[in-house]
Copies of this chain bind each other. A is one copy, B any other.
Amino acid sequence: MGTTTDIGDAPTARKRDKRRAILDAAAPVFGEAGYERASVDAIAGAAGVSKPTVYSYFGGKEQLFRETMADVARQVNEVSYRHVIALDLHPDRFRAGLHELGVALTRCQRDGCAASLSRLVLAESRRDPAVFEEVRRAGFGPIREALAGRLARLGNAGLLDIDDADVAAQHFIALTQSQLPELTAGGSAEADEDLVASAVALGVDAFLRAYAPGR
């Protein structure tokens, strides 16, 4: 019985696997080389499939790029989202929670393919505005939305002085990640963990001074 099910699902499963393999291979290749320098050959090779397979799955380099970016954005979103909703709202711990959240989000932005994401999207957004929109939908948008929600709840609890939660979320992210490009030399170098942490701490402090003035 189980066998039957397996056999029945096999084609779909395989297709999904190959799709995943290609996306997983494409992300680092695009990340290292950028859109133009990345060759479909290299991606196909890294995925262990042939070039035409890539084309049959994604239609072309452009679409492959878009879907890869959206996929990475979803992955980053996934992790970041969990960090955001895990923000501790307890009056005694939310300050520490915001520090932790800042560090966590920054680490998400810095690690792996996520680091390349914003760089790539920004780089290609003029040639293909759709990619920007898609990534915002799949990644940045939901994160900011969730973060705005948490901050609003802190506002409702009287712990923060929030006027526009969206703006507050944007400012939180801006303050905590403002030094990231500098520290990683634009993504070309690994950032020292401690430097990142202290930069984030300074950002959170500023955020708290701006948005929890009474305390």
In the assembly, how many copies of this chain are there?
4
Q: How far, in angstroms, from A45 to B45 measured CA to CA in the complex? A: 30
The contact string, 1 if C-beta is below 8 Å from chain B, for chain A 192-215, is 000000000011001101110100
Inter-chain contacts of A175 with B (CB < 8 A): 171, 174-175
Instruction: Flag if A186 contacts B119 (CB, 8 Å).
Output: no
Question: From residue 144 to 201 of chain A, which have CB atoms closer than 8 A to chain B?
Answer: 164, 167, 170-171, 173-175, 177-179, 181-182, 185-189
Interface membership of A132, Cβ < 8 A: yes
The contact string, 1 if C-beta is below 8 Å from chain B, for chain A 94-129, is 000000000000000000000010011111111101
Interface membership of A85, Cβ < 8 A: no
Interface membership of A49, Cβ < 8 A: no
Inter-chain contacts of A203 with B (CB < 8 A): 171, 174
Interface membership of A79, Cβ < 8 A: no
Contact A206 B211, CB 8 Å, known A185-B125, A186-B122: yes
CB distance from A199 to the nearest CB of B (A): 8
Instruction: Flag if A181 contacts B122 (CB, 8 Å).
Output: yes
Interface membership of A93, Cβ < 8 A: no
Highest count of chain B CB atoms <10 Å: which of A116, A167, A211, A213: A167
Instruction: Flag if B37 contacts A186 (CB, 8 Å).
Output: no
The contact sample of 26 A-B pairs, CB cut-off 8 A, is A33-B127, A34-B126, A34-B127, A35-B36, A36-B36, A37-B127, A119-B123, A119-B125, A122-B181, A122-B186, A126-B187, A126-B188, A129-B185, A129-B188, A129-B189, A132-B185, A136-B182, A167-B206, A171-B175, A171-B202, A171-B203, A174-B177, A175-B175, A206-B210, A210-B210, A213-B213
Residues of A within 8 A of B (CB): 32-37, 116, 119-127, 129, 132-133, 136, 164, 167, 170-171, 173-175, 177-179, 181-182, 185-189, 202-203, 206-207, 209-211, 213
